[in-house]
Chains A and B, each alone.
Chain A
Amino acid sequence: MNLWKLVPGQLMTTAIPVAILCLTASVQLLAGTIPPNLQEREEARIEMLSRISPSVVCVMAADGNGGGSGVLISADGYAISNYHVTSGSGAFLKCGLNDGRLYDAVIVGIDPTGDVALIKMLGRTDFPFATPGNSDTVQVGDEVVALGNPFLLASDFTPTVTYGIVSGVNRYQYPAGTFLEYTDCIQIDASINPGNSGGPLFDIQGRWIGINGRASFEKRGRVNAGAAYAISVRQVLLFVEHLKCGLIADHGIADFTVQTASNGKVLVNEVSEVSEAWRRGLRPQAELLTFAGRTISSANDFQNILGIFPDGTRVPLEWRDKSGLHSGTIRLRPLHAFRKAPELPQDRKQPQPGDPAADEQAQVADVPAELQALFEERDGFANYYFNRIRQEQILDRLRTAVGNTTGESQSWVIQMTETPKAQAAGEPATWELVAGEAGSGLSSAGRDWYQPSDNPTPDNEPSQFAGLLSATIQWHRLLTLRIAAFDEVVAQGQLTHLPSNLPGSILQTQQGPCICRWYFKADQPMPFAVDVEYAQGVDEVRIQFKDWVAEEGTFRPSQIGIVSPQTEELTWLTVTKFQLRKAAPKPAAASLPTSGRISVADIAELTGTGDAE
């Protein structure tokens, strides 16, 4: 065969003979050499493509300009795209599906660091949507299909399909500036071109495994060169609830750095001395073995796995030093804490004709009122409307369960017995926990601790359960529905709770320096856990609640579990008696002592409970 394929000038003369040869040849070759299941496979692939195509979105600015791709993930119209596709389009977008129809859409949440955006398409409750697969089990060599809108080819929004294989997994692609960083992504050789951005990557069974957002372009211009990158569906799903809360989602930092040593070991380089990692005992020169459940064999591995988690995630880690093997968990701290959606670097901007500012003005003017109602601008949020709605959902469930407490002040006295661990000798310890608006107190074995709510200090906390009293003040505040008394309330998406390993919707409350993350299971009114950062530079207190029961007109847990920050072990306290005392609200007792020990009886008196036995 000659080089006719590469030389356009020769095509005219050679194409026809070759084509005719093909026709003859095909008849001969069809007999016998085709694998027996080829037709079956082809039919399966056609079926798969017709099944997944309806979920693929053509994403455009509200004026129909620009253009990228996206994928629907739920029947109520949530769709994922790239941040670099939606950025610059304003709050409202137009989206096309392969039914040929154009839908209005509103921006919901953005993750500029991970280059992900969530939009909500409107006008249907039965949108077709993609089913996620497991991007962790994707192997190099697996067949994949990429769907999207390259070169904005389809005027009827029918997605273009390109086929390829997985070229690499766990790839890292450097950020553009400080964001649009692709960590732990999937490298593919399916053709990805401008316009494919934000579109879905599927495995050959039609399971959604990634979002195509980036490609290596070089000498050949901005067209496919056989190396494109998809954000893993695992990362997208770790952020999707954050995005549904209308947040500018953030990624995390670990407060320590690592480097790959010449012997191939991954050694800790620097550790912040005020970090949780330092308090767990992690020091420079320690060998990092695992992080977030992944074996770390290079500094790149560490950067890769760190990059897929939202800020605030608690992750386990294991390391080795001279004294042996160690493990612990740390909470990732914010990387950027964006207050505004960041501007894209110039070379990553989607082409937007006309003056963008003027266009935006025009868009907003054209948007119908019902659509406008779905967007609320606020610092730190992509769309505060969706955060407010999530907060209200969580708090409404709580209100319905607890009932109306307005206009009354309640105090609690909770008697608890330590749930004996195996082989524990002697009588189990008993505790009495008291909580009221003015503060909280704890008493056990003749010792008392008291924490006032107006000026709490870590010194007042019991050594065995440091932070419990501060946490109890917040717990009491939430359950007596004094929501307005918090400085800030934000729905913070979803985090996996440790050590239970359960996902929880997060309601984050802040009062002064005290930050609580309340974990709610779907549709449950009461939280199953709370993590409380009650002071700077000390470990947070992490509490689990088991089996809430209605008693005395409120809810109390049957058991309270307190996590040891050193060992991650839970100490369970079983509630043996719960008393609630209601009184007319009275001003916080300004005369309360802020230090020194006082008796539980005093506390009960001061917090308005009265009888403390």
Chain B
Amino acid sequence: MTQTSFSNMFDKFCSLQTGRAVYSNCCLNCWPVILMTALIVILTSPLGQAGHANAFAARAQESSLPQVVSSGQDVVVKLFGAGVGNLDSYGSGVLVSSEGHVLTVWNHLINVGYLTAVTSSGKRYSVRVMGTSKDHDVALLKLQNDNGDVFPFISLADIQEAEPGTSVLAFSNMFHVATGNEPVSVVHGTVAAKTPLSAGQGRWKFPLKSEVLIVDSVTNNSGAAGGLLTNLQGRPVGLIGREIRHLDSQTWVNYAVPLTTLKPVVETLLEGKRVESQTAGEDKRPRITDRQLTVRFGITMLPDVVERTPAYIDAVSRRSPAEAAGLRRGDLIVLIDDDIVTSVTDFQQHLAARRPGQKISVTVSRGQQLISIDLKVP
């Protein structure tokens, strides 16, 4: 399968070579340059696209694409929550059980606390977070329903490997084009590489150490995180990731985490078990103490009794910088600048990284609203 589509690309490459040969008569020594130029042309030009389209078209014909597409659209839910600034208030998720378990990326949407899922039939559900895995950057959600609704879902047994050259379809709620009962968007592409990924967003670094799938089309748009990557037979192959940039090149990366990698994680979470983090390093970051937080800022947080205690403000001292800035008891701290705050500990670590006098923006969730508050670090 993989070979088929690649061979077409190479075929194009060969014909390009023939085309270029005419010019090489007058520039015999420059063939490596020509060769490279040709390669770049393949990768960047419409001709390269045509080669790719060629492969895609041939593969698309093997099974009825509109049929594959509609089943893919049915298992992807649209998520709506809260966003701020560059962070979107919408996302995507993949149904992984008939009872309504949804696999998605563990991003800011999941942390804010109120989240609605809309299925392809247009039904709305409130959502509970069942479990998360920091190392895999995924969260397992459950659509809350008392009516015993049965959902279409991807079977973990159907998951397939994808390799470079595999033609794929990406299903997601990108740009929240689809609302209500509208099916999610689908784009086509080809797996371009399978590689470990060094990418991030602000201070956040993509945690997964194993290989991800790099796709040659723009799959990772706003709201696409948590969408589904399938092959042309409609078999699930990947979970579309975040909108992030490569750390070296600063280019946007279109990646998906292979579902073969996520399968054991999902199975563990479905059993109601915790996925232990293998990366302990991050928790060693320095943190501002409870006492300093109260004395300097005037903030007392919810007692940090469990792992990942949500960063709720328990009390704000009178005439403190926190009160002056407008923070209140009951606020859930969601962001510091563009960094997601996942717990009380995380909040204290973030604050430790800020110098006194530095201006920061603290985004809190209050009622059903996200409020950004500017604060100078005391």
Contact = CB atoms under 8 A, between A and B. Distances in A.
A265 to B, nearest CB: 11
B289 interface: no
B324 interface: no
A219 interface: yes
Interface in B184-229: 184-188, 192-195, 214, 217-219, 221-222
Contacts of A216: 174-175, 177, 221
Interface stretch (B36-44, B92-100, B349-357, B358-366): B36-44
B13 interface: yes
Contact of A42 (B54, B180, B243, B249): B54
B11 A264 contact: no
Nearest to A264: B122
Interface in A121-176: 139-143, 160-165, 167-168, 170-173
Contacts of B66: 139-142
Interface stretch (A4-12, A273-281, A439-447, A456-464): A4-12
Contacts of A171: 177-178, 182
B326 to A, nearest CB: 29
B223 to A, nearest CB: 10
A35 interface: yes
Contact of B186 (A45, A140, A225): A140
A141 B185 CA distance: 10
A30 B182 contact: no
B4 A187 contact: no
B164 interface: yes
Contacts of A5: 43, 192-193, 214
Interface string B1-13: 0011011111101
Interface in B99-122: 122
B58 interface: yes
B167 to A, nearest CB: 11
Contacts of A11: 36, 40
Interface in A212-261: 216, 218-220, 224-227, 260
Please classify how large the interface on chain B is, using the bins under 10, 10 to 19, 20 to 34, 35 or more: 35 or more
A522 interface: no
Contact of B65 (A3, A165, A170): A165
A52 B3 CA distance: 32
A260 B35 CA distance: 59
Given A23-B13, A168-B185, A220-B252, A227 B175 contact: yes
A98 to B, nearest CB: 15
A219 B246 contact: no
Interface in A283-314: 297-300
A19 interface: yes
B158 to A, nearest CB: 19
Contacts of A6: 193, 214, 246, 249, 251, 253
Contacts of B50: 161, 163
Nearest to B216: A5
A189 interface: yes
Given A23-B10, A29-B10, A140-B70, A168 B221 contact: no
A2 interface: yes
A19 B186 contact: no
A16 interface: yes
Contact of A264 (B67, B68, B123): B123
A38 B58 contact: yes
B35 A19 contact: yes
A164 B53 CA distance: 8
B292 interface: no
B180 A16 contact: no
Contact of B57 (A45, A160, A226): A45
B65 A25 contact: no
Contacts, number: 194
Interface string B248-261: 11011100000000
B7 A1 contact: no
B181 interface: yes
A22 interface: yes
A2 B193 contact: yes
Interface in B17-60: 17, 32, 35-36, 38-40, 43, 46, 49-50, 53-54, 56-58, 60
A369 B9 CA distance: 54
B4 A41 contact: no
A403 to B, nearest CB: 58
A191 interface: yes
Nearest to A297: B181
A170 B185 CA distance: 12
B17 to A, nearest CB: 8
A167 B248 contact: no
A165 B186 contact: yes
A229 to B, nearest CB: 8
B73 interface: yes
B343 to A, nearest CB: 28
A interface, by DSSP: helix, strand, loop or mixed?
Answer: mixed
B69 interface: yes
Given A141-B69, A300-B182, A227 B53 contact: no
Nearest to B194: A1
B3 A33 contact: yes
Interface string A24-68: 011001100111011001100100000000000000000000000
A15 interface: yes
Contacts of A172: 179
B14 interface: yes
A38 B14 CA distance: 17
Contacts of B49: 162-163, 191
A165 B36 CA distance: 30
A18 interface: yes
B279 interface: no
B86 interface: yes
B43 A161 contact: no
Contacts of A299: 180
A35 B61 contact: yes
Contacts of B14: 23, 26
Given A23-B14, A139-B66, A143-B60, A168 B178 contact: yes
> Chain B CB within 10 Å — which of A5, A37, A189 has the most?
A189
B241 interface: no
B218 A297 contact: no
Nearest to A304: B182
A7 B248 contact: yes
Given A1-B193, A33-B3, A168-B177, A219 B10 contact: no
A298 B118 CA distance: 13
Contacts of B282: none
Given A16-B32, A227-B185, A163 B180 contact: no
Contacts of B62: 35
A141 B182 contact: no
B207 to A, nearest CB: 18
Nearest to A145: B53
B183 interface: yes
B7 A219 contact: no
A441 B86 CA distance: 71
Interface in A307-333: none
Interface of A: 1-3, 5-9, 11-12, 15-16, 18-20, 22-23, 25-26, 29-30, 33-35, 37-38, 41-42, 45, 139-143, 160-165, 167-168, 170-173, 187, 189, 191, 204, 216, 218-220, 224-227, 260, 264, 297-300
Given A143-B60, A167-B185, 7 more contacts: A23-B10, A25-B7, A29-B6, A29-B7, A35-B61, A35-B62, A226-B218
Interface of B: 3-4, 6-11, 13-14, 17, 32, 35-36, 38-40, 43, 46, 49-50, 53-54, 56-58, 60-62, 65-70, 73, 86, 122-123, 164, 169, 174-175, 177-188, 192-195, 214, 217-219, 221-222, 243, 246, 248-249, 251-253
20 contacts: A5-B43, A5-B214, A7-B249, A12-B36, A15-B39, A34-B58, A41-B57, A41-B58, A41-B61, A140-B183, A143-B57, A161-B50, A162-B46, A165-B186, A168-B185, A173-B177, A189-B187, A218-B222, A226-B221, A298-B180
